[in-house]
Amino acid sequence: MNPESPIEQLQSLVTDTKEQIAYYQELGIELVERPLSTEASGSGGILACPSPLASNPEQARMPALPGLFPDLKPPAETIPKSTESFEQIHADLVNCLRCPLHQCRTNIVHTEGNRRARLMFVGEAPGADEDAQARPFVGRAGQLLTKIIESIGFQREAVLIGNVNRCRPPENRAPTSDEAAMCKPFLLREIAVVQPEVIVVLGNTAMRNLLDNREGITKLRGHFQDYKGIKVMPTFHPAYLLRDPSKKRETWEDLKKVRDYLESTAKISIGPGR
């Protein structure tokens, strides 16, 4: 057996200390006095006097562990590589009845594209065209997304495209938090399979559901976020750009950052596949 490294020993000490503190707290103990040595007590090992700290309960109170080891940080959380196939994931969604959206859908709309993609796009939910064709982003907003993808040097077939929800909400409304919660695990399973280097989240709903962040898209767009070790770029949804074309310039600036990052990490080029 290999001996523990210093950092592993320290982490073990922290774990043991946490357990000891939890035990004391369960007993209702808030103060811990430092016993004197046998020689100092002159009482055969019996504590002759309390620790000086005992006179000041605020000083004697056990400090929080983060203050003890300010530089000791847990390993960054990452998504383990999954060996599932998309077919296995999609099989779990056949005739899905998990949320009320199944009542008005025509088709379940799955993620599609290159399953070895370095770049993934995630929207909120299918629209009428997507619901009819069982494909993500094929309506007017999807046509604009295809142009955006091509503007940074990719073909649509080279990336992965999906939504947080796979059934169309009535009147194209945003999915509720409960509806998103039912569907999100399947998206996360696909991300674990593909392990893209960058995910572009399109609009507030997709951003908030993937990142669990309540900030608005206007504030976060253009700034890389982190999702368990994967870079995430929030930007405007293509449907919003159709309503407000003045935001296309900002979206272009966001996507240029994505392009530049992928170029900087590419072994050869940012063409299809890896």
CATH 3.40.470.10 range(s) for the chain read 86-265
Question: From first to last of its 274 residues, what are the pLDDT tens digits of the chain?
Answer: 556 666 677 777 777 777 777 666 666 655 555 554 444 444 444 444 444 444 454 444 544 555 555 555 666 788 899 999 999 999 999 999 999 999 999 999 999 999 999 999 999 999 999 999 999 999 999 999 999 999 999 999 999 999 999 999 999 899 999 999 999 999 999 999 999 999 999 999 999 999 998 889 999 999 999 999 999 999 999 999 999 999 999 999 999 999 999 999 986 444 444 4
Measured in residues, the chain has a length of 274
Rg, C-alpha atoms of the chain: 27
- Residue 182 exposed, middle or buried by CB count within 10 Å (0-12, 13-18, 19+): buried
Other CB atoms within a 10 A radius of the CB of residue 233 amount to 23
Give Cα 26 distance to the centre of its chain. Answer: 34
Q: Which amino acid is at 8?
A: E
SS3 call for 84: coil
pLDDT for 3: 60
pLDDT for 70: 56
What would the CATH number be for the domain defined by 86-265? Answer: 3.40.470.10
- Distance CA(33)–CA(209), nearest Å, equals 48
- Return the residue matching tokens 């604009």: 144
> What global pTM score does this model have?
0.72
